[in-house]
């Protein structure tokens, strides 16, 4: 198929509240069933990967919140850098709170007329919401679809419930080329983003911090007013004694 759409239904869940991960990936790749460090599959792959990253503390120079969905196209020469969460080889991405939902989540990956579009149905509304769309994506035919997941030292469950693949009509079928010989590539990549640490204080801690700051300021003001009043009162007494 030169043009296709995959819809997959899944459930990512776990009991950890603070530290969890790492996530899973959907692959359209030249090689199949090869274990590796990139969400359980090989690095320096050839093809397309859709990463669903759940790692609770992000790495590297960016400021998005996890869970996060992103795409990468590789011709076998690019390295997925876990220390930077792949931001330097990312086509595009979006934040998606798909972990620990009470229902299954759906993702649709559409590749049509050299355009890659990823959509989600996270709220179980039977309505697709576009995550991102990228033009200028070149993928060959005859690659393998697959899934892999990794937890590292952390823990989570990554359940793939169902997978559906559809062949799509497109103008590409009229091209006089051998689509199987296309080298995977993308014409554009996402711009690197500035890093903001994940160690953000919780709302509860922020509330109590400002509460105690306000109390401290009130106590300090009362103490200053009391001290001024005591000094003025003492001065008045001294004047009375003088007269």
Q: Name the average pLDDT for the chain.
A: 85
Tell me the average pLDDT across 213-242. 79
Compute the half-sphere exposure of residue 65: CA atoms within 13 Å on the CB side of its CA. Answer: 6
Residue 194 Cα distances to 61, 65, 70, 197, angstroms: 5, 13, 17, 10
Per-residue pLDDT at 155 exceeds 90: no
Q: pLDDT at residue 53 above 50?
A: yes
Tell me, yes or no, whether 213 and 173 share the same domain: no
Tell me what the mean pLDDT of segment 108-122 comes to.
96
The domain in which residue 91 lies consists of 4-186
Identify the pLDDT of residue 27: 97
81 and 144 in a single domain? The answer is yes
Same domain, 36 and 103: yes
Distance (Å, rounded) from C-alpha 37 to C-alpha 152?
Answer: 9
Both 221 and 182 in a single domain? Answer: no
159 part of a folded domain: yes
Inter-residue contact 111 to 4 (CB < 8 Å): yes
Report pTM: 0.73
Are 112 and 225 in a shared domain?
A: no
Would you say residue 26 lies in a domain? yes
Query: CA 232 to CA 151: how far, in whole Å?
Result: 69
| Whether 120 and 232 share a structural domain | no
Asked if 98 and 214 sit in the same domain, the reply is no
Q: In this structure, is residue 124 part of a structural domain? A: yes
For residue 201, give both structure tokens. Answer: 């204080």
195-213 pLDDT, tens digit each: 444 444 455 666 667 778 8
Q: Is residue 10 part of a domain?
A: yes
- Is 35 inside any structural domain? yes
Residues 53 and 77 in one domain: yes
| Residue 34 resides in a domain | yes
Q: Helices then strands (H, E): number in the chain?
A: 1, 14
Say whether both 180 and 209 belong to one domain: no
- Residue 144 falls inside a structural domain: yes
Regarding whether 131 and 18 lie in a shared domain, the answer is: yes
Grade residue 160 by pLDDT with cuts at 50, 70 and 90.
very high
- Domain total of the chain: 2
The answer to whether the beta carbons of residues 26 and 70 sit under 8 Å apart is no
Q: Are residues 145 and 231 in the same domain?
A: no
Same domain for 140 and 20, yes or no, is yes
* pLDDT tens, residue by residue, 59-87: 544 456 778 999 999 999 999 887 776 77
The enclosing domain of 44 has a CATH number of: 2.60.120.200
Residue 72: per-residue pLDDT? 95
| Whole-number pLDDT of residue 121 | 96
Do the domain assignments include residue 125? Answer: yes
Residue 125 has pLDDT above 80, yes or no: yes
pLDDT score recorded for residue 204: 60
């Amino acid at each position: 198929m030169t043009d296709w759409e995959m819809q997959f239904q899944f459930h990512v869940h776990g009991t950890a509240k603070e530290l969890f991960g790492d996530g899973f990936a959907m692959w359209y790749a030249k090689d199949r069933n090869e274990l590796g460090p990139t969400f359980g599959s090989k690095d320096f792959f050839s093809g397309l990967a859709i990463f669903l990253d759940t790692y609770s503390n992000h790495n590297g120079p960016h400021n998005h919140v996890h869970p996060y969905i992103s795409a990468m196209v590789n011709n076998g020469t690019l390295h997925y850098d876990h220390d930077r969460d792949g931001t330097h080889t990312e086509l595009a991405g979006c934040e998606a709170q798909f972990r620990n939902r009470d229902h299954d989540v759906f993702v649709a990956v559409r590749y049509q007329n050299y355009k890659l579009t990823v959509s989600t149905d996270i709220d179980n509304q039977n309505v697709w919401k576009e995550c991102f769309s990228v033009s200028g994506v070149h993928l060959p035919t005859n690659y393998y679809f697959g899934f892999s997941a990794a937890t590292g030292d952390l823990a989570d469950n990554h359940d793939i419930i169902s997978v559906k693949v559809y062949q799509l009509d497109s103008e590409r079928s009229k091209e006089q080329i051998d689509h199987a010989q296309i080298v995977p590539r993308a014409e554009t990549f996402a711009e690197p983003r500035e890093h903001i640490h994940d160690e953000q204080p919780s709302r509860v801690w922020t509330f109590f911090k400002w509460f105690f700051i306000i109390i401290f300021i009130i106590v300090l003001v009362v103490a200053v007013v009391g001290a001024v009043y005591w000094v003025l009162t003492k001065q008045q007494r001294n004047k009375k004694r003088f007269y």
